[in-house]
Amino acid sequence: MYDTVQKSVDELVELSWVEAPMSEEIKNFAISLIRNTIANIDTIDGYIKKHSKNWSFERITAVDKAILRISICELMCYPDIPPAVTINEGIELGKIYGGENSGQFINGILDAVRREEIKKEG
């Protein structure tokens, strides 16, 4: 959604757009995740483009793209979070907020990125 909201990173990490109360720990993690996702967006988008076979990057919905981006960032930057947890969270977010096939689409891309990209870096 970073593409669509036209906000700076500093504005996004103020989290003024979040309506639910959150603990300081969750707030700090969210800020870290936002900053790391945007800092690595070119690499992350490259992974999405590479692994979204038969689906152009421009056709991926903003919601699915946002879920993929934060999930891939989590896979890349937070090795203490098990990849299966990250992938399952991405799938569930896709089922809740995405389209009819978002969960499957997100699962396929995240699993391919985990197998083919993340292990190469680690």
Q: Are 15 and 30 in contact (CB under 8 A)?
A: yes
Tell me, what's the pLDDT at 90?
Answer: 97
pLDDT in tens, 73-114: 999 999 999 999 999 999 999 999 999 999 999 999 999 999
State how many domains the chain has.
Answer: 1
Q: Please state the pTM of the whole predicted model.
A: 0.87
Q: What is the DSSP string of 1-48?
A: -HHHH---HHHHTT-TT--S---HHHHHHHHHHHHHHHHTHHHHHHHH
CATH code where residue 58 lies: 1.10.940.10
Q: Which domain holds residue 112?
A: 2-121
CA dist., res. 47 & res. 113, Å (int): 7
Question: Residue 122's pLDDT band (boundaries 50, 70, 90)?
Answer: very low
